[in-house]
Amino acid sequence: MRFSNAYKGIKIIFVGEIIGVLLMVCLEFPSTLLQIAGSLFSDSEMLELALSSVVTKLMTYASQFFELLSFAVIMIGAIIASKDEKKFREAAIVIAITIIGSMVNMFIDIDINMILEIVIGVLDLWAVVAVLQGCINISDLCKEEDISEKGVKTFKILVFAYTASIIFTLSTQFFMSRASFLVISVIIIIMGAIVQITAYVFYIVHLSRMKKMLKVKQLQE
């Protein structure tokens, strides 16, 4: 089999995940640090002005927009790839639920917001696992054992990273509510960002690996 739909779908998923990584590095991470910096230096009127709530809100809105864009692109890719492998259909359904959750998350109380963020994180992991399982199934059918094994390793790394991310999120919320622990919050956020970005790199590398393998299949048949 050529798995032409899977090839097209995985290429689109790859683009969506790249958008997700850029979102994390350029908007989510700096926005959180800005909020903490504003709390740390609240006595300085100049810094308060520079780090005003308007700036933070603009970054938050931009972050939410690109998050939804990333999810939408990945969902489209999963729908296309599902024509060749059923696991991608599961990923598309979970991503659709995640998009709804993300939209609801924009308009709810901050206390519920934290809980919903964790739920969205779990759904995101579910979708990623479904995509990876779909990739592994396809590489097995193509008798590419090396790529299948690398897919399993990537799966383990992602489960660890997402679990750590949830723990970091809960810890950050706890320490940010206490002024004396704000520096610890910064350290936790940096650690969480490093873990997440590393996991995303492994995931994107595997998607790239799948693209190359399936591209060869298109040329062979």
- State the pLDDT at residue 199: 86
Helix ranges, the chain (H): 4-23, 29-40, 45-50, 53-81, 87-105, 110-141, 145-176, 182-220
Among 121, 100, 131, 120, smallest CA distance to 11 is for 131
- State the pLDDT at residue 149: 93
pTM: 0.81
Rounded Cα distance, 150 and 154, in Å:
6
Rounded Cα distance, 166 and 12, in Å:
27
- Please report, in tens digits, the pLDDT of each residue of the chain (221 residues total): 678 999 999 999 999 999 888 877 676 666 665 555 555 554 444 455 455 556 666 767 777 788 889 999 999 999 999 999 999 999 999 999 999 988 887 776 555 666 777 788 889 889 999 999 999 999 999 999 999 999 999 999 988 888 887 787 777 666 655 555 666 766 777 777 788 888 888 999 999 999 999 998 877 76
Rounded Cα distance, 36 and 172, in Å:
10
- State the pLDDT at residue 46: 45
Amino acid at 50: A
The domain segmentation of the chain, as residue ranges, is 4-215
Among 38, 56, 40, smallest CA distance to 48 is for 38
Q: Is 21 helix (H, G, I), strand (E, B) or coil?
A: helix
- State the pLDDT at residue 43: 47
- State the pLDDT at residue 38: 54
- State the pLDDT at residue 36: 55
